[in-house]
Amino acid sequence: MDGLNALLDGMSAALTPMNLLYAFFGVLLGTAIGVLPGIGPAMAIALLLPLTYTLPVEQAIIMFAGLYYGGMYGGSTTSILLNTPGESASVMTAIEGNKMAKAGRGAAALSTAAIGSFVAGTIATFCLALLAPQVVKVAIQLGDPDYLAVMLFAFVAVTTVLGSSKIRGFASLGLGVWIGLIGIDPTSGQQRLTFGIDQLSDGIDVVVVAVAVFAMGEALWIAAHLRRAPARITPIKGRWMTREDLSRSWKPWLRGTVIGFPFGAIPAGGAEIPTFLSYISERKLSKKPEEFGHGAIEGVAGPEATNNASAAGSLVPLLTLGIPTTATAAVMILAFQTYGIQPGPRLFQDQGPLVWTLIASLLIGNAMLLLLNLPMAGLWAKLLLIPRPYLYAGILMFASLGAYAANGSPFDLWLLLFIGGLGFAMRRFGLPVVPLIVGLILAPRAEVFMRRALQISDGHLSGLVNTTFSKVVYVLIALLIVAPFIWSRVRGRRTPPEGPVGPSSPTTGADDARVHANTEGA
């Protein structure tokens, strides 16, 4: 019960006017960027990182967390009211949600999405409060080889699950690790990959890379392929929520929470897979499966609850192990690091009040989001009428501000342009960007753990696998790599040879959308 007590303390700390203000600011901004196409929570937090220079750590983190949750709400508004596919976390919502809106039931779709997000977000945040201290208890006993194993697991998970091509995932990871090598070798003090350039001897600022990959690369990519035909905003019609809507929604909400939370907590690429699972399980369990594809409320309620629960779930490894599982979580880690705080098991000991204030403010922010979104969904949709040239020009402007302010040097601006070009190329050639940023953040730490583990074992490789925990993790890693091959073999045998093979065959609308949903939180 120490979790709940600490949560109460955190609640009283979160309820100060300033903290409430920043939570409000975060959810407000989060909803806006969720609605706006082209900007996701990861990009928004990356662009806001300069705020960490003056803002107290509590308020910055509260704001960023509010932004994370808010993005999920805003995304559902667009996917219901717009006839175009939305962000990856809301793709499933769009399938049924937009059909409902077109059939004059937009209000009901928006309500089940908002209330479902609230219910799931609240339950999942309580789960986070209860689970995190338990994970910390285990994590605090882990040694260097165990940590190394966990990080390698994160690498493999994030590359094998995200995107459609594993080799491209590993290539992206390799790029991130390569960039992470630049600078001074922590043990021998020698310069690595600096090519005699002074500005590189301290390494490349991770903030610059994050802004380059998430903001520059995305802006350039969208500019090259800007959708010319504007979408239509479906007018909000119908009753907000009838008794029948509620009775059809509450079970999907709870099931979505159960699916979303654990998926968020493992490095499996954020909300993309769990929302898909939620959608197909609701379609299977529904008493009216014939409504699916024509605006079934369960198909909105389930995935929307799922994506919020998974956002809360991703905070578990972020806070307890310092391991990011989504793009947004990765940028959140950067925010912590700019304050010199390293998320991990010691975070709860060293920064206990900060963590609990953060978790409490998530609950508060979640309530704010419900009030902010449900009555004002139509108003938020008006953001879509902003001319995009201003929007993307503004992104470039804030990206360069963030990069320049980091060190006050134009060199970082050139780096931004260069790595932004890399981000563009990655989007063109199907390399997911999340492994790059995860590799960049975790690799230097993984190197330290590996060195320490090997020092203890006097250089023998056995030092990396001398604990039960690490052995179990390496077996899991092996399974993660091998299982998909076996799986596709088995499936390949069952599927008739002329039919499309593999999970990416677009047999239904849902599968089709799933395939295109590899744009997590950009």
Partner 1 sequence: MPVIVGFVPTKEGRAALDAAVTEARSRGSRLLVVNASTGAASADNRYVDDEELTALRAELDASGLDYEISHAVHKKDPAEIIVELAEETHADLIVIGVRRRTPVGKLLLGSQAQKVLLDAECPVLAVKAPR
Partner 2 sequence: MSDQVQKRGEGRSEYGVSLLLLALGIVAIVDALGLIERGARGFMTARTVPMFVGGLLILCAVLLAVDIARGGRGEQEEGEDVDLSGGADWRTVALLAAAFAFNAAFIDRLGWPITGAVMFFGSAYALGNRHYVRLAVISVALSLVTWYGFFLGLGVKLPAGLLDGIL
Question: Counting contacts by CB under 8 A, is residue 230 touching partner 1?
Answer: yes
Q: Could you please report the per-residue DSSP string of 319-360?
A: HHT----SHHHHHHHHHHHHTT---SHHHHHHTHHHHHHHHH
Stretch that binds partner 1, among 108-116, 195-203, 384-392, 400-408 (CB under 8 A): 384-392
Question: Counting contacts by CB under 8 A, is residue 509 touching partner 1?
Answer: no
- In the list partner 1, partner 2, none, the entry touching 281 (Cβ below 5 to 8 angstroms by class) is none
Q: Which of residues 1-40 bind partner 1 (CB under 8 A)?
A: 36-37
CB 211 within 8 A of CB 403: yes
Bridge partners (DSSP) listed for residue 192 = 183
Among 43, 46, 60, 82, binds partner 1 (CB under 8 A): 82
How far apart CA 319 and CA 310 sit, in angstroms, is 14
Can you read off the two tokens belonging to residue 138? 């285990």
Write out the H or E segment, with its range, that includes residue 184: strand 183-184
For partner 1, give the closer residue by CB, 99 or 248.
99
Nearest to 376 by CA among 4, 73, 140: 73
How far apart CA 110 and CA 301 sit, in angstroms, is 9
Question: Counting contacts by CB under 8 A, is residue 386 touching partner 1?
Answer: yes
Please, where are the H alpha helices in 266-326? Answer: 272-285, 298-313, 315-320
CB of 223 to partner 2, least distance (A): 5
- In the list partner 1, partner 2, none, the entry touching 171 (Cβ below 5 to 8 angstroms by class) is partner 2
Question: Counting contacts by CB under 8 A, is residue 229 touching partner 1?
Answer: yes
Among 228, 243, 493, 494, binds partner 1 (CB under 8 A): 228
For partner 1, give the closer residue by CB, 232 or 460.
232
CB of 222 to partner 1, least distance (A): 11
CB of 364 to partner 2, least distance (A): 25
Can you read off the two tokens belonging to residue 19? 């903290």
How far apart CA 173 and CA 96 sit, in angstroms, is 35
For partner 2, give the closer residue by CB, 228 or 494.
228
- In the list partner 1, partner 2, none, the entry touching 221 (Cβ below 5 to 8 angstroms by class) is partner 2
Phi-psi region of 104 (alpha: psi -120 to 50; beta: other; left: phi over 0): left
- In the list partner 1, partner 2, none, the entry touching 211 (Cβ below 5 to 8 angstroms by class) is none
Among 137, 232, 288, 428, binds partner 1 (CB under 8 A): 232
How far apart CA 466 and CA 145 sit, in angstroms, is 8
Residues of this chain that bind partner 1 (CB under 8 A): 36-37, 82-83, 227-233, 381, 384-389
